[in-house]
Chain A
Amino acid sequence: MERKSTAVAGPVLEVKNLSVSFRMYDRGLEQYDLKVISNLNLDVRPGEIVAVAGSSGSGKSLLAHAVMGLLPENASVEGEISYGGKLLEQKDMERLRGKEFALVPQSVTFLDPSMKVGPQVTGPRPSRERRQRQREVFDRFHLAEAVDRLYPFQLSGGMARRVLVSTAVLSGASLILADEPTPGMDLEMALEALQCFRELADEGRAVVLITHDIDLAFQVADRVAVFYAGTTVETAPSGDFLRGPEALRHPYSKALWNALPQNGFQPVPGFQPYAKALPKGCLYAPRCPWRTEECGGEIPMRELRGGMVRCIHAT
């Protein structure tokens, strides 16, 4: 797949030291704060696809929801989210989403169950051009004309996913946050969807691609950000992920590579720590082969070989 990096300007989206906590009820009326994202960093430039990889429950979807201003009432956010160099408030997000920002949501339940998918994608009272554009995009994803008149429950998982991707392609937004756009699609279709995102980026938009299909993401993305337990542990050019574990920096990124079925299918033992009981210092330390006493201290993000890493032992 062709990769063309046109990223030159400053970041469209910049997330700095983001933390998200949820106020939860324990027993009875007792409450506690569950910190699910801590010190998360991410930036995307125009013309760039940044893939976000990482463990299930590492805060990938929450990041997308935080940027869109879609977090529920019991969430509190610290840190900075800026768009085009301007710090965003909740009301800015509400104004910009759907126009400047588009979200491809993770769950197919985000479709309106009582609305046929064609009108749902074009929006109310579409112009003739818009209808035509919608048909072109659907055609590209092999969604036949009859599909326009189906309700979401009549679609298969993969078809619903393609409908969701179509909305972002049609939106004209300059920042696209795609949250797991490919599961349920067969390989050919998944590559088509990713190619679509590549083209959107090449037109100068910025794309954040959250995915578990990392082997596919490496093919189209410019950079990869690796999340673990709610924080960024590494950002690297995606070429490093194609080259293999020697080119990667963080031990968790290496472990991801080694666990791919085509590479070794070798899982590292252990679990991601639960947000209620995070270890002090490095969050990966309990599973890490390089762990030393110093890992219990604060671990800053630092530059290394053209990428960023949150590990004191990485070389």
Chain B
Amino acid sequence: MRLEAKNVSFRYREHSPWILREISLSVEKGERVGLVGPSGYGKSTLLRLMGGYLKPASGEILLDGKPLPQKGVCPVQLIYQHPEKAINPRWKMKKVLEESGMFRREIMEALGIEEEWLSRYPRELSGGELQRFCVARSLFEGTQFLLADEMSTMLDVITQAQIWNLVLKEVEQRQLGLLMVTHNRALADRVCQRVVELSVETDGE
């Protein structure tokens, strides 16, 4: 199975500057790919396109040769940089896991989620602790690809190493495909088998 961006271009509106132009990139199942490049070159935008959150102006996003499914849970899951912005602030953590159907002991154990955290609100957890929930809810059974957009940038290096070690174990075990964006070359070299440089001029810079 392969997740593929084929000659993808994107801009927010007609006549506004192009953010991505004619980009092609593919990730195989079981492969770990890093995406690096200067800030403002559209790395996050490409991830959002590949996760189905944005529609390309031209080109296609293909999963196993077909467009991403429009209904049901998407087999391509995106994890953001700021977990506190990706979780409903008014829900206790247990409800966050239940909503995604991931309130399961083995997932919690695999990701080091403590029983005690479930009765807390998001503001009562640190960024690293919250990010574990974001990873947990993206790892449901049908997930084939994980997209990580600077998932550990806001975390301290110990928490970063904790989370990545857990994610890598899951990725290995389930043979998921991983596409990660980072500015940390040492991290990309640690985590990925292959690093792709995004280097297309944009009008904004």
Please, which residues of chain A bring their CB within 8 A of the CB of B155? 56, 212
A219 at the interface (CB under 8 A from B): no
**Which segment, of A86-94, A123-131, A254-262, faces chain B?**
A254-262
Is the pair A261, B183 in contact by a Cβ cutoff of 8 Å?
Answer: no
B127 on the interface (CB 8 Å rule)? yes
- Residue contact A256 to B157, C-beta cutoff 8 Å: yes
The answer to whether the Cβ of A157 comes within 8 Å of any Cβ in the partner chain is yes
Chain A residue contacts of B189, Cβ below 8 A: 261
| Given known A261-B189, A267-B165, A274-B124, contact A184–B158 (CB-CB < 8 A) | no
State which of B36, B129, B153, B158 has its C-beta within 8 Å of the C-beta of A267.
Answer: B158
Task: Tell me whether B185 and A185 are in contact (CB under 8 A).
Answer: no
* A242 interfacial contact with B, CB 8 Å: no
From B128, B159, B161, give the contact of A261 (CB < 8 A): B161
Are B150 and A261 within 8 A (Cβ)? Answer: no
Contact B164 A265 (CB under 8 A): yes
CA distance in complex: A158, B183 (Å):
10
Q: Tell me if A152 counts as interface (CB < 8 A to partner B).
A: no
Known: A187-B184, A262-B186. 12 other contacts (CB 8 A): A146-B204, A156-B40, A156-B44, A158-B183, A159-B39, A180-B154, A183-B153, A186-B36, A189-B39, A212-B157, A214-B157, A259-B157
Chain A residues with Cβ under 8 A from B114's Cβ? 271
Q: Which residue of B lies closest to A188 (CB)?
A: B38
Tell me whether B156 and A157 are in contact (CB under 8 A): no
Given contacts A56-B126, A157-B44, A274-B124, are A256 and B158 in contact (CB under 8 A)?
A: yes
In the assembly, what is the distance between CA of A55 and CA of B157, in Å? 8
Bound together, the chains give a CA A188 to CA B39 distance in angstroms of 10
Please report the C-alpha to C-alpha distance between residue A56 and residue B186 in the assembled complex, in whole angstroms: 20
Q: Judging by beta carbons under 8 Å apart, are A265 and B159 in contact?
A: no
The residue that A56 contacts in the complex, of B81, B159, B164, B184, with Cβ under 8 A, is B159
Name, among A142, A156, A180, A184, the residue most crowded by chain B CB atoms within 10 Å (CB to CB): A156
Interfacial residues of chain B within 37-67, with CB under 8 A of chain A in the complex = 37-40, 44
Enumerate chain A residues within 8 angstroms of B191, measured Cβ to Cβ.
Answer: 261
B162 contacts A by Cβ under 8 Å:
yes
Contact in complex: A157, B39 (CB < 8 Å)? yes
B binding-site residues for A, Cβ under 8 Å = 36-40, 44, 81, 112, 114, 124, 126-129, 150, 153-162, 164-165, 183-187, 189-191, 204-205
Chain A nearest CB, measured from B183 CB (Å)? 5
The answer to whether the Cβ of A39 comes within 8 Å of any Cβ in the partner chain is no
Could you tell me if B187 and A261 are in contact, using CB atoms closer than 8 angstroms? Answer: yes
Give complex CA distance A212, B37 in Å: 20
Please indicate which of the listed interface residues B44, B114, B156, B164 has the most CB atoms of chain A within 10 Å of its own CB.
Answer: B156
**Does residue A266 face the partner (Cβ distance < 8 Å to B)?**
yes
Q: Interface code A267-309, partner B: CB below 8 Å = 1, 0 otherwise?
A: 1110110101000000000000000000000000000000000
Chain A residue numbers with a CB within 8 Å of B165 are 265, 267
By the criterion CB–CB under 8 Å, are A54 and B186 in contact? no
What are 16 A-B pairs at a CB distance below 8 A? A55-B128, A55-B158, A57-B126, A146-B204, A150-B204, A183-B183, A187-B185, A189-B39, A214-B157, A259-B161, A261-B157, A261-B160, A261-B186, A261-B187, A268-B158, A269-B162
- What 1/0 flags go to A53-69 for Cβ under 8 Å of B? 11111100000000000
A184 & B150 in contact (Cβ 8 Å cutoff): yes
Q: Is the CB of A185 within 8 A of B156?
A: no
The reply to whether B190 and A185 contact each other, CB–CB distance below 8 Å, is no
A115 touches B (CB below 8 Å): no
Find the B residue at minimum CB distance from A214.
Answer: B157
Give which listed residue, A187, A260, A262, contacts B183 with CB less than 8 A: A187
CB interface residues, A 155-207, toward B, < 8 Å? 155-159, 161, 180, 183-190
Q: Closest residue of chain A to B45, judged by CB?
A: A156
**Chain A residue with Cβ nearest B123:** A24
Contact B126 A267 (CB under 8 A): no
Cα A255 to Cα B156 in complex, Å, equals 11
Residues of chain A within 8 A (CB-CB) of B124 are 274, 276
Which A residues are CB-close (under 8 A) to B128?
55-57
Judge whether A144 is part of the interface by a CB distance below 8 angstroms: yes
Q: Which of A144, A147, A190, A212 is most buried by chain B, counting CB atoms within 10 A of its CB?
A: A212
Residues of B within 8 A of A189 (CB): 38-39
